[in-house]
Amino acid sequence: MFTIDAHLDLSMNAMEWNRDLRKPVNEIRASEKYLHDKPDRSNGTVALPELRKGNIGLVVATQIARCATAGNTLPGWHSPQQAWAQTQAQLAWYKAMEDCSEMKMITNVDALNAHVELWSNDDDDLNDKKPVGYILSLEGADSLIDISYVERAHNYGLRAIGPAHYGPGRYTNGTNAKGKLNNDGKALLKEMEQLNIILDATHLCDDAFWNAMDLFNGNIWASHNNCRKFVNHNRQFSDEQIKTLIERDAVIGCAFDAWMLVPNWQRGTSTPKNMNCDLNKVIDNIDHICQLAGNALHVGIGSDLDGGFGKEQCPNDIDTIEDLNKIPQLLSNRGYSNKDIENIMHDNWLRFLRKAWK
């Protein structure tokens, strides 16, 4: 089934992990056999050939460059100018992939419809000749030097922004932090609304989430977020937050990071097998959102499968991202209709984008 994945850090993997994503996953793994600088070396799951094999023809692909602000012990760039430069290197990689016909930027309804039509051919053998479409999103707004850079980014194709990532940020606070948007953050939301840039609610801390819901009147999605019901951590959404997003006609993409799927995950110690982490845990999150909504119109996939982890920290029945094609059968096993499954695999994101870009 044609599939949309609403969150992949492709350019980060290319530029910081130095992965040539034109090569199959197994070749990338082999090339990293003696590398130990990243926790997921030789365990990667995402590359362009596997996206094509899985009929994953459209993704939301990120730029990401956090600043090391005061109080945030996580790594980051030491100035907004450096962070901006990093996102521009990532943009240059996407453009290089377009130049060699590996990818295609999608920025409007006409381009979206044409791309979906291209991928609607049922002959999967032809997928290796098709560019993977991508909608450009900024994960964390730290790299926007000032508000004028929002329009500059929109002009080169940016269509969604998540204002925060982990910890305190330059515009607002994210996972494991507290506090509402600052004045620059409020100005950011206003400019995003003016330019019709989608607000990605993922990673907003609870204070910032509710503040943003009050201030922002534009289109909202959550590209990669799970349910606090299953893992009680501020990175996940409470039922109240999920219901509010449903009321705003948002779509929530469920993520595949094991620590977000099973409670008590210990990084570097736990394994998907010994924690019984499999794709059914993803289905649990999808189903919970559907139960809260009373339908299957507000949930999709936002796997984050290349977000700094690999096979060592994802469902044990995932070898590569191609295995997203196991999800329709798992949903069918839970009683979901063919139409419900189509909605979850692609149509919810398409409906959202066609409405947002009309």
Identify the CATH number of the domain in which residue 20 sits: 3.20.20.140
Q: Which domain holds residue 279?
A: 3-356
Q: What is the pLDDT at residue 73?
A: 80
Q: CA–CA distance from 43 to each of 81, 271, 285 (Å)?
A: 32, 13, 24
Q: How far apart are CA 218 and CA 199, in angstroms?
A: 7
- DSSP letter for each residue of 43-89: -----HHHHHHTTEEEEEEEE---B--TT--S--BSSHHHHHHHHHH
Q: What is the pLDDT at residue 135?
A: 99
Residue 294 has pLDDT above 70, yes or no: yes
Amino acid at 310: G
Q: CA–CA distance from 235 to each of 37, 81, 204, 304 (Å)?
A: 26, 28, 8, 14
Q: How far apart are CA 278 and CA 297, in angstroms?
A: 24
User: How confident is the model over 155-164, as a mean pLDDT?
Assistant: 98
Q: How far apart are CA 134 and CA 60, in angstroms?
A: 5
What's the pLDDT tens digit per position in 231-247? 999 999 999 999 999 99
User: How confident is the model over 133-160, as a mean pLDDT?
Assistant: 98
Q: What is the pLDDT at residue 128?
A: 87
**Model's pTM, two decimal places?**
0.97
What's the pLDDT tens digit per position in 19-54? 999 999 999 999 999 999 999 999 999 999 999 999
**How many Cβ atoms are within 10 Å of 87's Cβ, its own excluded?**
26
Q: What is the pLDDT at residue 123?
A: 65
Q: What is the pLDDT at residue 218?
A: 98
Q: What is the pLDDT at residue 71?
A: 66
What's the pLDDT tens digit per position in 77-131? 999 999 999 999 999 999 999 999 999 999 999 999 999 999 997 666 678 889 9
Grade residue 74 by pLDDT with cuts at 50, 70 and 90.
Answer: confident
Task: Give the count of domains, the chain.
Answer: 1
Q: How far apart are CA 202 and CA 140, in angstroms?
A: 10
**How many Cβ atoms are within 10 Å of 108's Cβ, its own excluded?**
11
Q: What is the pLDDT at residue 125?
A: 66
Q: What is the mean pLDDT of the chain?
A: 97
Asked if 203 contacts 137 with a C-beta cutoff of 8 angstroms, the reply is no
Q: How far apart are CA 133 and CA 36, in angstroms?
A: 31
3-state secondary structure of 340: helix
SS3 for 195-240 is HCCEEECCCCCHHHHHHHHHHCCCCEEECCCCECCCCCCCCCECHH
H helices, E strands: number in the chain = 13, 9
124 vs 206, more confident: 206
Q: What is the pLDDT at residue 43?
A: 98
